[in-house]
Structure 1
Amino acid sequence: MEPQQNGNSHSQLFGVSAERPASVRSRTEPMVSTDGDDLGSGIVGVMLTFLSWVLVIITLPFSLFFCFKVVQEYERAVIFRLGRLQSGGSRGIFFVLPCIESYTKVDLRTSCFDVPPQEVLTKDSVTVSVDAVVYYRVSNAIVSIANVANAHQSTRLLAQTTLRNILGTKNLHEILSDREGISNSMQSSLDVATEAWGIKVERVEIKDVRLPVQLQRAMAAEAEAAREARAKVIAAEGEQKASRALKEASDVISESPAALQLRYLQTLNTISAEKNSTIIFPLPIDLIMAFMKGCNREVVPTGKRTAAASVEKE
C-alpha cells in the first residue's frame, strides 16, 4: 500500500487528484479496478516504481521534458500505471513517470458524424433511403477509455442500426411529416445506449429522405390532380359569386329606369373610347315603339280621307 500512496502523492503535487469523480461511481463504473491493491501489484510493481524514480533523478534536468505533459482545457488525460487505470480528469500540466506510466488524451468537445444513407422498408412496405447527422461528445473520459475499445466507432455503428429500427416502425407519411419526432426518438435511444460508454448524444437530425422514382412520379401526379381539383372548385365558386352579383345588378337596374339610362350612357362611352371606324348607336325600344305609334296615327287618317273622296266621286 505504501508505494501506491507515494505514487499518488507526486501526482497531487502537480495538480492531479487521485480521487475519482463522483459521476463515475454509478452504473457507468469502469470495468477496471483502481484500488491500491491492484496498482503495481507485488514486488515487481514496487521495484519498477523505484527504478523509475531513480531514473528521473539521475537524468535531471533532461528527464523533466519526458515527465511533464500538457493537456488542453477541452481535453482530459486518462493515466495508466503498469496497465492499470491510475487517474483521469487531468488537464493543464501533469506529471508522468517514464517507463511505467502512460496516458491517453480524450477530446471533450462536441463532434458530429454523418449516418450513411440507410435503405429501410417502412411499415406500409415502401422502400426509402434516409440519412442523418449525429452530434455527440464524451461526457466521461475514464469510462470512454475503460469500458469500450472505440467509443466513437461504436457510436457510429449504433446510430445506423438505431435509425433503421426506428424508421421500420413508421409509415411513409410519418417519415415525411414527422422528422422532428423521429430525430428526438433516435436521440433518446442513442443517449441511453451510449451512456455506459461515456458518450452523450446531444442532437440527431434527419438530413434527407429519398423515395423511389416511380413513387415520386405517383406522388407528383396525385399532387397535380389535387391542385387541379382545387382550381376547379375555386373557379366554380368565382362564377357563382359573379352570377349572384349580376343578378343583383339586374334587379337594381330593372327597378330603376334611371339606372338603365346610366348603364346605356356608360356603354356608349365605352364603345366610343375604342378605335373603331364604325360605331352603332342602339336606340331604346320604348323610343322606337313611340315613333312607330306616331307613324301609324299619321298613315291611317290619310287613308280614310282618300277612300271617302273616291266614294263621293262615284
Structure 2
Amino acid sequence: MSIKVVQEYERAVIFRLGRLLPGGAKGPGIFFIVPCIDTYRKVDLRVLSFEVPPQEILSKDSVTVAVDAVVYFRISNATISVTNVEDASRSTKLLAQTTLRNILGTKTLAEMLSDREAISLQMQATLDEATEPWGVKVERVEVKDVRLPIQLQRAMAAEAEAAREARAKVIVAEGEQKASRALKEAADVIAESPQAIQLRYLQTLNSISAEKNSTIIFPFPVDLLSALLHQQQHSSTQQPSLSTQNQQQTQIQPINRSPVHKTNVFSTVVAPASQQYQMSPGTTYHSTIHSSDTSSKANLL
C-alpha cells in the first residue's frame, strides 16, 4: 500500500487496472493506492484563466477588426474532466476562439464598440453550455480590445470631431437666440420709459470712468442727431431755387440793332466769370460795368 496526499483545492481520480474506481475522485487529505495496480491523476479545482489570441473578424457591416478576450473557468467535475476529454484546458481555449469569431461575426462595428458586456455574457453562456460535458464551468468572459484599421480610426475621429463642432455651433446659435430675445425685451422696456434710457446712459458713463481709460467716449443723442440731419436736408432743398434766381438775374438780354447810325466801337465787355459771350455781327449786346468810381455803357454794333 502507498499513501498519497492531495490538497484542499485538488482531487485525485484513481484507476485500478485501467478501470475507474467507484466512489469518484478522492480528496482532500490522504488516500491509499496499490503500487503497480493503481494509477491516479490530480485535478486542480481552482479558477483558471487564459487569453484568447487576437482574432481577425469580419463584422456584419464588412469591417475587419482584431478582437482578443480573456476566459475564466474551473473544473466542476474532476472525474468527467479526466475521462471525457484529454486536455480540458486546451480544449476550452480552442473552443473560446471559435466562439468569439462566430458571435462577433453577427455583430456590427457599432455593436462591438458599445455592447461589450452583452457580447461577453453571450460568449459565457455559449461556452458554458458547450463545455458542460467536459466537466468545465466557464465563470466569466471579457472582451479585452477591439482594434480597428488605421484608416478607419482616422475616419471615425474626423466624424466625431465634425459631430462635436456641429453640436457646438448649435449650442452657440441657441445661446445667441436666447440672448437676442432678452436684449429685445430689455430694449422694449427701456423704450417705454425715457427715465430708464437716461439711467442707462449714466450707468454707462460710470462704468467707463471706473476703467481708468485715457479716452472717454460720450454717446451722441439720437434725437438731436436726427434733428440735425432733417435740418440739413431742408437747407439742401432750398439752395437750388436760390441759385436759379441768381442765374436769371445775371443773364444779358440781346438788344435789336438800331438802323439809325452805324458805328464801329471796340470796347471790353465785363461779364460774370461763369458766362462767356460770342460776338457776332448784326446783334447788339448791352452790358453795364460797375466800378468803384465810374459807370459806363457801351453799345457794340
Does residue 214 of the first structure (1) align with residue 136 of the second (2)?
A: no
Does residue 193 of the first structure (1) align with residue 127 of the second (2)?
A: no
Structure number with greater Rg is 2
Does residue 257 of the first structure (1) align with residue 178 of the second (2)?
A: no
Q: Which residue of 2 aligns with 1:241?
A: 178
Q: How does 1:264-303 map to 2 (within 5 A)?
A: 264-282=201-219, 284=221
Q: Which residue of 1 aligns with 2:11?
A: 76
Q: Which residue of 2 aligns with 1:137?
A: 74
C-alpha spacing 1:221/1:278, structure 2 compared with 1 (3 Å): closer
Contact residue 74 and residue 137 of structure 2 kept, 8 A: yes
- 1:90 pairs with 13, 20, 26, which one? 26
The letter of the residue matching 2:196 is: A
Q: How does 1:173-192 map to 2 (within 5 A)?
A: 173-192=110-129
- Please tell me the root mean square deviation across aligned C-alpha atoms, in Å: 1.8
The letter of the residue matching 1:160 is: Q
The letter of the residue matching 2:110 is: H
Shift of 1:285: 5.7
- Whole-angstrom CA distance in 1 between matches of 2:222 and 2:171: 39
Shift of 1:71: 0.7
C-alpha spacing 1:145/1:270, structure 2 compared with 1 (3 Å): same
Q: How does 1:35-184 map to 2 (within 5 A)?
A: 56=1, 67-87=2-22, 88-91=24-27, 92-184=29-121
C-alpha spacing 1:274/1:94, structure 2 compared with 1 (3 Å): same
C-alpha spacing 1:223/1:108, structure 2 compared with 1 (3 Å): same
The letter of the residue matching 1:74 is: Y
The letter of the residue matching 2:206 is: N
Shift of 1:288: 9.0
Q: Which stretch of structure 1 is more off in the superposition, 87-96 or 141-150?
A: 87-96
- Whole-angstrom CA distance in 2 between matches of 1:289 and 1:161: 85
Shift of 1:282: 3.9
- Whole-angstrom CA distance in 1 between matches of 2:159 and 2:82: 54
Shift of 1:283: 5.8
- Whole-angstrom CA distance in 2 between matches of 1:172 and 1:284: 65
- Report percent identity of matched pairs: 76
- 1:230 pairs with 142, 159, 167, which one? 167
- Pairs aligned (count): 225
- Whole-angstrom CA distance in 2 between matches of 1:107 and 1:221: 51
The letter of the residue matching 2:148 is: L
- Whole-angstrom CA distance in 2 between matches of 1:236 and 1:160: 51
The letter of the residue matching 1:136 is: F
More strand by proportion, 1 or 2?
2
Q: Which runs of 4+ in 1 moved over 3 A?
A: 280-290
More helix by proportion, 1 or 2?
1
Shift of 1:257: 1.5
- Whole-angstrom CA distance in 1 between matches of 2:82 and 2:21: 12
Unmatched runs of 5 consecutive residues or more in structure 1: 1-55, 57-66, 291-314
Q: Which has the higher contact order (CA 8 A, sep 6+)?
A: 1
Shift of 1:123: 1.0
1:145 partner SS: helix
Unmatched runs of 5 consecutive residues or more in structure 2: 228-301
Shift of 1:89: 2.3
- Whole-angstrom CA distance in 1 between matches of 2:120 and 2:78: 26
- Whole-angstrom CA distance in 2 between matches of 1:114 and 1:273: 70
- Whole-angstrom CA distance in 2 between matches of 1:160 and 1:289: 85
